[in-house]
Structure 1
Amino acid sequence: MQHDKQDARLDGPLDGIRVVELGQLIAGPFCGQLLGDLGAEVVKIEPPVTGDPMRQWGQGDRPSWWRVIARNKYSVALDLRAAEGQDIARAMIAKADILIENFRPGTLEKWNLDPADLRAANPGLIVVRVSGYGQTGPYAARAGFGGIGEAMGGWRSIVGDPGSAPARMGVSIGDTLAATYGCLGALAALHHRNRTGEGQVVDSALYEAVLQVMESSVADYSASGHKRTRTGSVLPGIAPSNVYACSDGEYLIGANQDAVFARLAAAMGRPELAADPRYATHLARGAHQAELDALINAWTQTLTVAELEAQMIEAAVPAGRLFDPGDMMADPHFAAREALVTLDDIELGPVTMQGVFPKLSGTPGSIRRPAPRTVGEDSEAILERWLGPAKGEPA
């Protein structure tokens, strides 16, 4: 995918920002993906030969996750366990605006890349550190993958059906949340640097990123001793809001506001339900959630998904079918908003993936280059451009 360099809008709002990414697998690289999508020049430092394990990750007979998480990046091969590789990394970081890493705390220091020293050499440097438990505290040195952060942050204990073992989200939500908060912190730190010239360290812990999206679960327990539990597809007290069976599939309806429920009741041919004391108010519907869901489910089973969707659109009731990737690729709304984009891959051919979000009206992000095909393929060009010909040999 190419664009005219004369059109500065397509370079993104972070055009001119240099990022060195030392991370691997998901959290650090996803933070780099977000910054790259918004226009930053992201140089990914990979171990020689083996590269980032993400190159082999994904599902199906042609794994393609690397094509998403490494887009808009350059690959430089350096052995950070060797003095020569460390020296070149330090020289690059001295030219960078942002450094991303997601190793266990203490790893950078062991590699002679202590952020304090890096920032002494480059006072404007912003260091994004993503880890399981954060850089401080009694658990800091523990190994912590995304699932562990999801468990400690409270997510895993409430996901799944009652009486079943805790379930996972199906995607690495802990990693991507921590990466997103790391990106948010980096952008806030850039604003601070623009005013003061000073960089800083952004400490993003997996468990805290998960904790941040846990709504009022801790506050509810603190205030009343209430603990959320696994409740399957429903949120207790919020009704109707569930997935309902149709004659040919399933469909999600969210009509838990009074006026919206009244429109749903009318669409069902049961307008009297909106005035029924059992369902007339938010609290009443929550108290009678199971019987209301059963009533709605009995109605939806008489309709196909398409028939139900047409009625919900006509009634202005928030509702929608459950999409899989095939549905997304065929949907006109995804196409109209370019929510999905297709890149030509030299090995896989056309590969469709999610686009760049959020959408900015003046300086939108874009996918300006595909993921690096080989480990270190940009080493010579990047090192010469960043450091000059004298540093132009990869370690």
Structure 2
Amino acid sequence: MTETDTASQPTGALSHLRVLDLTRVRAGPACCRILADYGADVIKVEAPAGVDPNETINGPRDGSDMQNLHRSKRSLSLNLKMPEGQEIFRRLAAGADVVVENYRPDVKYRLGVDYESLAAINPRIILASISGFGQDGPYAARAGFDQIAQGMGGLMAVTGLPGQGPVRAGAAVADVAAGVFAATGILTAVIEREKSGRGQWLHTSLLEAQIAMMDFQAARYLVEDEVPEQAGNDHPVSTPTGVQQTADGYLNLGVAGDGQWRSLCREIGRPELGEDPDFATVEARLHNRRQVRELLDPVFLGETTATWLKRLEAANIPAGPIYRMDEVFSDPQVAHLGMATTVEHVRRGPIRLVGTPVRLTRTPPRISSAAPDVGEHSEEILQDLGLDAERIAVLRRNGVV
């Protein structure tokens, strides 16, 4: 599959679901984006323009971040701080499947969008809550942001060169992971509802998601009582797995197993190193990591990156280039996978957005539209609720929508 406009492709895996998206910033919008790309009717419920002082927190409405986070959704402008706005939301919730929110934990109760209130209207409703630190506990009321979770979840302590101090990852790991985990929880609850007929409340947080993303590093501490340190570009428990400088740049080398090590030794003309007791096993190479580096560095400096990648691929040794973002989307495999998807924007014209990374063969995902303007679909959504044009006009004059 090549880069394409997906508007002509089939979709609909989740077309039977209606999702009310009360989220902002990144984790919640990323969660709802997943559902929208698979065909769910995601209604982005947001304050009318000018009501929220932080409405530009993700940049301009037509900017890359907003467009990528909120594609495939509809927008309803609704002031939930007003009683009329809350009443309209309750009417929407009565016919919805899922509500997603990422307010601070106490806010949902003030707005009447907590699970107990929603379930009283619609027992099948599923409420997904994403917070910074959890729905209760000593940090529940704190504001949560990705970098704070990266620090508290252990990522920054293992990222970067040894001794250089904590380093944040260059992507919003905690935010996006929380969104993915929340979407997983929503789909699990939807499947369970087929048996029970009842909805439920699920919640995750940036902190929980970041700790879960630490995976084997967290397990090293919990199981082995090892506290991981910064390892730079080297893999913490496998070598030679990391960045190698070449004659004209860098490449990633992924020699994990002993068989791969022996293949590498043959490829560089040093087959005897494959059996050398100082290097023959993973444990031995880790113990002698510095010597392994001293052996390989001058060898890799002798050829260009392109030459090494061809040689290593032919020898079935895992390796890959290290791209800047423009090079990522120029790679033929990335183009084949369709990870840049073109949609039409009313003011910007054709724009490319990041594709959906999981494909279903019968009901593939589809980015159906660019991100909507604030309240772009308010009238049609409110008409579906039975409100006539006169009533909608009154709501607009009163600042409810």
- For this structure pair, what is the TM-score category when the shorter chain's length is used for normalisation? over 0.9
Q: Deviations over 1:305-349 (max 9, x none)?
A: 111111111111111001222112222111212122122333333
Residue of structure 1 equivalent to 2:241: 241
Instruction: Quote how far apart the aligned CAs of 1:55 are.
Output: 5.4
Tell which deviates more after alignment, 167-176 or 220-229. 220-229
CA separation of 1:79/1:124 partners in 2, compared to 1, >3 Å: closer, same or farther?
A: same
* SS at 1:203 equivalent: strand
Q: 1:323, 1:354 → 2: CA distance?
A: 16
Q: 2:303, 2:344 → 1: CA distance?
A: 41
- Match of 2:199, as an amino acid? G
Residue of structure 2 equivalent to 1:118: 118
> Quick check: 2:343–2:368 contact (8 Å CA) kept in 1?
no
Which structure has the higher relative contact order (CA within 8 Å, separation 6+)? 2
> Quick check: 1:19–1:42 contact (8 Å CA) kept in 2?
yes
CA separation of 1:79/1:125 partners in 2, compared to 1, >3 Å: closer, same or farther?
A: same
* SS at 2:253 equivalent: strand
Residue of structure 2 equivalent to 1:287: 287
Which residue of 368, 386, 389 maps to 2:387? 389
Is 1:375 aligned to residue 377 of structure 2? no
Residue of structure 1 equivalent to 2:23: 23
Instruction: Quote how far apart the aligned CAs of 1:201 are.
Output: 0.7
> Quick check: 2:11–2:39 contact (8 Å CA) kept in 1?
yes
Residue of structure 1 equivalent to 2:58: 57
Residue of structure 2 equivalent to 1:154: 154
* SS at 2:195 equivalent: helix
Tell which deviates more after alignment, 317-326 or 142-151. 142-151
Q: 2:331, 2:382 → 1: CA distance?
A: 43
- Match of 1:57, as an amino acid? N
- Match of 2:272, as an amino acid? E
Q: How does 1:227-266 map to 2 (within 5 A)?
A: 227-266=227-266
Q: 2:316, 2:160 → 1: CA distance?
A: 30
Q: 1:232, 1:268 → 2: CA distance?
A: 24
Residue of structure 2 equivalent to 1:214: 214
> Quick check: 2:233–2:243 contact (8 Å CA) kept in 1?
yes
Structure 1 gaps, min length 5: none
Q: Report how many residues are paired.
A: 387
Instruction: Quote how far apart the aligned CAs of 1:2 are.
Output: 6.4
Structure 2 gaps, min length 5: none
- Match of 2:285, as an amino acid? R
Residue of structure 1 equivalent to 2:173: 173
Residue of structure 1 equivalent to 2:361: 361
> Quick check: 1:26–1:54 contact (8 Å CA) kept in 2?
no
- Match of 2:263, as an amino acid? R
Instruction: Quote how far apart the aligned CAs of 1:63 are.
Output: 3.6
Q: 2:163, 2:376 → 1: CA distance?
A: 51
Q: 2:16, 2:116 → 1: CA distance?
A: 24
Q: 2:380, 2:213 → 1: CA distance?
A: 41
* TM-score, reference length from structure 1: 0.92
* SS at 1:330 equivalent: coil
* SS at 1:11 equivalent: coil
Q: How does 1:3-18 map to 2 (within 5 A)?
A: 3=7, 10-18=10-18
Q: 1:269, 1:352 → 2: CA distance?
A: 45
> Quick check: 2:90–2:121 contact (8 Å CA) kept in 1?
no
CA separation of 1:25/1:51 partners in 2, compared to 1, >3 Å: closer, same or farther?
A: farther
- Match of 1:37, as an amino acid? D
